[in-house]
């Protein structure tokens, strides 16, 4: 690639090569295990397969075995090359960044595009003040040192380019010996075998227990998508399959069978024949029910209607059939025995869930996955009176959600229902309601070993900054819908989930799920809060919530909190704050974003930073305030619930905001107190809070990697940390600002307000407030800070989040 720039090298992630190496190593191991098994089988065939046919088979095996070994060796060599390349690139990158840090640490300005190193403004100013005669020697020294740093940086950049080129060459060489024969897709002759008639014969052989290896190989080939086709589906594109007639006929051949019977197909076969068949059927159902899949001639399209009749029925019918009880129960069965339909459908649903847990769960866009999400949500709401069924409904719901969790397109559609695409999962004429179905999933109490709901939502955070536009859009739209549903249902999720014992919150009911939701929505905080600076966003498809809430700065009647109006954003915080770990994750990220908005305002490049910071921190404060109030009230109502009492007594949620101290306040659970400061403090970053996990996003473009300075304490009237963040931003443009603050004379002395890294010395600032205020006024101008607080207050007072394209006027 030649010589890269510093900015390019900073964006490099050598870990990608290590990840690829791991995938190649796994594929090589799998291929090796298959080759060993095949070799043992072929060696044993001398005893029972004799004659020309047997010899021909063994000759053909030797040819294929040789080709496969070549592929295996290439994968192993590729993995070695990738790991070596990652190590070399990482070392070269580290060496470069050390040189850059050294130069910047001495006060030089490094151009990240050209690698040029120059003295900063302060150095040049000091030379000018020294006069021409006295400045010659220092100037020569400064220029000489800049040239030395520049040479070192340029040399390090060349090393980075070399390491990158060497890694690319080594990986290419590892696969250079592969021929098209060794990496080809199924041949035309093989695809010609995949006809509808052949599918009927193969299915009958499976039913009879007579399917041989050739039959199983043909079934596997028909039901296995190529990596290219899978990627096309994941990109939202259509796929034309030559084997579609085979798949269609294979599926239709099961239309007279129940899901229980289908789950038994292959049980008559020896060895792992049953496992092969079950995985193939699961793949088949996902492919033929996929609206993005078409036959080569375009005459047939995938969809839910292509599935066997019984499978369609149990996925679209109202699952309340599971609550049916027998009219004339057996005298030996006790009260509320399930009727025949309840037992029959329970067995079929369990069988279908078990079947669909096999095969390739990463196929995207299948109606069967959409239907399992819909049905899983509805089953989660059931409360059958028959103990036999009650013990199974949670398992069925979780299994359906888990089976569908790998289909991110289906999960997206369940969250957003674009163009009514989910209506097909309902009975004829019915309509899917994303709000109610997603709420059903959030409000069901999942046991600690049930992770289907959690796994459904994880991709939302993982794909926030995906390089693929379709995948990033899919994740962004999912995040906005999930956040909106949570905000609009705050009344129940925050403290009174229906059906739960006593008064319980979402975070207490489902701690694992609440933490996944917080983690998944974290990268979208700038979007949801309506932040207008694109550099602070990792995703560009998630929109803002409609309202943030507002505070009017007047004290409420009870004197404990500021008057405020809830909004979607504050409601989102309120629900997430119902679990301590989720609250810490989400609020820490939000506080970090608030600091970035302060910083952006200080640069002078973001006129809306203060306003947006006010809306964000106002929503944080209001959400925390409301949730603490709800938890305290809930604890008084659940006086005998020791778990709830212990949960609240930890005071973990209140500890999110720096400066909440024990003092006079509202009486809390078990005699504890929550300081009134909780309702009037500006949320700020706790000491040493690291940057939030940004899911592999390029930190240099998002600025989320900037760790803001720690503070030991802050009280209700203290805005110094915000001021310090603004000054940090100002210094990024005016590079001598920190030196000016530290050298500023007030009453005959100066103060070390900032350390060598630009971090505020809060003890110095707090104990010398007059000097600090005088420095602010003299160096930057009081107007900058007055305007900030005016705009911040305006943001807090306006409940509506202004559309991002307009911004505050």
The DSSP annotation for 308-375 comes to -HHHHHHHHS-GGGGG-B-SS--TTS-SS-B-HHHHHHHHHHHHHHHHHTSS-TT--S-HHHHHHHHH
**Gyration radius (Cα) of the chain, Å:** 32
Q: What span, in angstroms and rounded, lies between the C-alpha atoms of 142 and 149?
A: 11
Helix (H) or strand (E) holding 78: helix 52-105
The pLDDT of residue 655 is: 44
Task: Give the pLDDT confidence of 61-104 residue by residue, as tens digits.
Answer: 555 556 667 777 888 888 999 899 999 999 999 999 999 999 88
CA 322 to chain centroid: 35
Q: Could you tell me the CA-to-CA distances from 41 to 22, 70, 216, 385 in Å, in that order?
A: 29, 20, 16, 54
| 645-650 contact pairs (CB < 8 A, 24+) | 645/669, 645/670, 647/508, 650/580
CB 761: neighbour CB atoms within 10 A?
17
Q: How far apart are CA 369 and CA 288, in angstroms?
A: 12
Residue 129 CB-density burial (10 A; 0-12 exposed, 13-18 middle, 19+ buried): exposed
The helix/strand/coil state of 547 is strand
Using alpha carbons, select from 405, 368, 407 the residue that is nearest to residue 289: 368
Distance between CA atoms of 540 and 551, rounded to whole angstroms? 29
Of 303, 295, 302, 300, the closest CA to residue 423 belongs to 303
Q: Could you tell me which residues come within 8 angstroms of residue 674 by beta carbon, excluding any fewer than 6 positions away?
A: 628, 632, 651, 654, 660, 665, 666, 668
Q: Distance between CA atoms of 746 and 772, rounded to whole angstroms?
A: 9
3-state secondary structure of 563: strand
Where are the chain's structural domains? Answer: 6-183, 219-326+336-444
* pLDDT at position 740: 96
DSSP string, 8-42: HHHH--THHHHHHHHHHHHHHHHHHHHHHHHHHHH
Among candidate residues 526, 506, 527, 528, the one with its CA nearest the CA of residue 517 = 506
The CATH number that domain 6-183 falls under is: 1.20.1260.20
Could you tell me which residues come within 8 angstroms of residue 382 by beta carbon, excluding any fewer than 6 positions away?
319, 320, 322, 323, 393
What confidence score (pLDDT) does residue 190 get?
62
Taking the C-alpha atoms of 665, 667, 670 and 673 in order, what is their torsion angle to the nearest 10 degrees?
0
Rounded Cα distance between 562 and 591, Å, is 20
Q: Do residues 558 and 792 lie in contact, with contact meaning Cβ atoms separated by under 8 Å?
A: no
Q: Is the pTM of this model over 0.75?
A: no
**CA–CA distance, 617 with 614 (Å, rounded to integer):** 5
**Percent composition of the chain: helix, strand, coil (DSSP 3-state, to 5):** 60, 5, 35
Per-residue confidence (pLDDT) for residue 634, from 0 to 100: 55
Residue ranges for the chain with pLDDT beneath 50: 48, 180-185, 331-332, 554-562, 636, 638-718, 804, 806-809
Residue 501, CA distances (Å) to 132, 444, 578 in order: 82, 12, 16
Place of tokens 């925390």: 624
Q: Residue 236: is it exposed, middle or buried by C-beta count within 10 angstroms (0-12/13-18/19+)? A: middle
pLDDT value at residue 585: 80
Calculate the dihedral angle through the C-alpha atoms of 250, 252, 257, 262, rounding to the nearest 10 degrees.
Answer: 30
């Amino acid at each position: 690639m030649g010589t890269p720039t510093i900015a390019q090298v900073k964006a490099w992630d050598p870990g990608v090569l290590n990840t690829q190496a791991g995938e190649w190593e796994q594929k090589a191991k799998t291929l090796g295990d298959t080759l060993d098994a095949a070799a043992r089988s072929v060696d044993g065939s001398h005893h029972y397969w004799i004659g020309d046919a047997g010899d021909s088979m063994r000759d053909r095996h030797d040819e294929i075995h040789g080709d496969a070994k070549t592929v295996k060796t290439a994968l192993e060599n590729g993995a070695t090359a990738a790991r070596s390349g990652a190590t070399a690139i990482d070392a070269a990158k580290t060496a470069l960044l050390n040189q850059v840090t050294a130069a910047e640490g001495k006060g030089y300005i490094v151009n990240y595009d050209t690698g040029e190193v120059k003295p900063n403004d302060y150095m040049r100013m000091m030379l000018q003040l020294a006069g021409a005669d006295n400045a010659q020697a220092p100037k020569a020294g400064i220029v000489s040192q800049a040239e030395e740093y520049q040479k070192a940086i340029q040399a390090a950049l060349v090393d980075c380019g070399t390491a990158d080129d060497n890694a690319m060459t080594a990986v290419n060489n590892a696969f250079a010996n592969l021929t098209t024969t060794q990496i080809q897709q199924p041949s035309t002759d093989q695809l010609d075998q995949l006809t509808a008639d052949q599918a009927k014969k193969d299915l009958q052989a499976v039913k009879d227990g007579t399917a041989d290896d050739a039959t199983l190989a043909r079934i596997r080939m028909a039901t296995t998508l190529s990596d290219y086709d899978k990627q096309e589906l994941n990109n939202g594109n259509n796929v034309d399959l030559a084997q579609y007639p085979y798949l269609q006929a294979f599926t239709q051949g099961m239309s007279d069978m129940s899901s229980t019977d289908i789950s038994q197909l292959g049980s008559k076969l020896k060895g792992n024949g049953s496992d092969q068949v079950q995985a193939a059927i699961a793949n088949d159902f996902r492919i033929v029910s996929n609206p993005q899949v078409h036959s080569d001639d375009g005459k047939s399209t995938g969809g839910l209607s292509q599935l066997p009749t019984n499978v369609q029925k149990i996925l679209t019918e109202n699952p309340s059939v599971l609550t049916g009880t027998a009219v004339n129960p057996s005298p030996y069965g006790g009260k509320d025995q399930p009727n025949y339909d309840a037992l029959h459908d329970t067995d079929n649903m369990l069988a279908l869930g078990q079947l669909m847990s096999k095969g390739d769960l990463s196929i995207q866009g299948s109606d069967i996955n959409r239907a399992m999400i819909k049905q899983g949500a509805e089953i989660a709401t059931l409360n059958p009176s028959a103990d036999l069924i009650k013990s199974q409904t949670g398992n069925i719901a979780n299994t359906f959600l888990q089976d569908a969790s790998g289909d991110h397109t289906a999960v997206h559609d369940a969250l957003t229902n674009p163009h009514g695409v989910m209506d097909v999962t309902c009975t004829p004429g019915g309509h899917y309601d994303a709000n109610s179905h997603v709420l059903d999933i959030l409000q069901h109490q999942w046991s600690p070993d049930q992770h289907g709901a959690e796994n459904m939502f994880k991709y939302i955070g993982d794909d926030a900054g995906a390089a693929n536009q379709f995948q990033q859009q899919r994740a962004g739209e999912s995040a906005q819908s999930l956040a909106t549903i949570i905000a609009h249902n705050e009344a129940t999720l925050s403290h009174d989930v229906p059906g739960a014992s006593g008064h319980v919150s979402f975070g207490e009911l489902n701690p694992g799920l609440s933490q996944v939701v917080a983690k998944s929505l974290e990268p979208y905080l700038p979007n949801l809060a309506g932040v207008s600076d694109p550099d602070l966003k990792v995703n560009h498809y998630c929109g803002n919530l409609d309202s943030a809430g507002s505070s009017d700065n007047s004290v409420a009647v009870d004197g404990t909190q500021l008057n405020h109006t809830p909004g979607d954003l504050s409601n989102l915080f309120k629900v997430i704050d119902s679990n301590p770990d989720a609250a810490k994750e989400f609020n820490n990220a939000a506080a970090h974003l608030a600091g970035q908005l302060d910083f952006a305002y200080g640069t002078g490049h973001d006129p809306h930073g203060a306003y947006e910071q006010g809306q964000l921190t106002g929503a944080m404060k209001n959400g925390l305030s409301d949730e603490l109030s709800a938890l305290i009230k809930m604890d008084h109502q659940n006086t005998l619930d020791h778990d709830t009492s212990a949960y609240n007594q930890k005071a973990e949620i209140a500890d999110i905001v720096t400066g909440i101290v024990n003092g006079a306040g509202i009486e809390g659970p078990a005699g504890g107190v929550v300081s009134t400061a909780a309702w009037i403090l500006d949320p700020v970053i706790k000491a040493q809070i690291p940057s939030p996990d940004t899911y592999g996003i390029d930190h240099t473009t998002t600025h989320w990697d900037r760790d803001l300075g720690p503070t030991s304490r802050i009280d209700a009237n203290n805005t110094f940390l915000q001021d310090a963040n603004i000054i940090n931003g100002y210094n990024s443009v005016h590079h001598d600002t920190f030196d000016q603050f530290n050298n500023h004379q007030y009453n005959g002395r100066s103060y070390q307000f900032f350390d060598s890294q630009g971090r505020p010395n809060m003890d110095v600032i707090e104990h010398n407030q007059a000097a600090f205020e005088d420095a602010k006024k003299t160096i930057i101008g009081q107007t900058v800070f007055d305007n900030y607080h005016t705009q911040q207050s305006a943001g807090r007072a306006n409940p509506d989040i202004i559309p991002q394209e307009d911004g505050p006027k």
